[in-house]
């Protein structure tokens, strides 16, 4: 059985570790690898949106999504459908450039 210690011993601050020793442990003696720089197309950040729409629209959107996925067509997700439908309206009313 391990040695018993008073509860207060567990509350004492732990001494700071040496960052060099930590890096040695993590990287195994070699320098930190430098990730390659990649040029990628900026993907817009998506945020959740919850709303209620007519049940017949929901059924039609799901049917369209499934049909287009099976046919290999793009766009094929409800999210993509909504983005394509909303963008012209937002643009024409001056909410996005």
What is the reported pLDDT for 33? 64
**Residues 6+ positions from 30 with CB-CB distance below 8 Å:** none
- pLDDT value for 58: 94
| CB-CB contact of 37 with 53 (8 Å) | no
* pLDDT number for residue 1: 65
Task: Say if CB 90 and CB 96 are below 8 A apart.
Answer: yes
Predicted local confidence at residue 9, as pLDDT: 77
| pLDDT given for residue 23 in this prediction | 77
Question: What are the structural domain ranges in the chain?
Answer: 55-92
Across the 97 residues of the chain, what is the mean pLDDT of every consecutive 10-residue run?
77 74 74 68 84 95 94 92 94 92
């Amino acid at each position: 059985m391990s040695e018993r210690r008073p509860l207060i011993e567990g509350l004492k601050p732990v001494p700071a570790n040496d960052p060099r020793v930590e890096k040695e442990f993590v990287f195994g003696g070699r320098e930190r690898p430098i990730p390659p720089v990649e040029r990628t197309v900026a993907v817009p950040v998506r945020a959740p949106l919850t709303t209620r729409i007519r049940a017949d629209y929901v059924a039609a959107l799901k049917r369209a999504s499934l049909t287009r996925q099976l046919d290999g067509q793009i766009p094929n997700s409800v999210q993509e459908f909504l983005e394509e439908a909303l963008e012209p309206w937002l643009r024409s009313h001056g909410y996005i450039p």
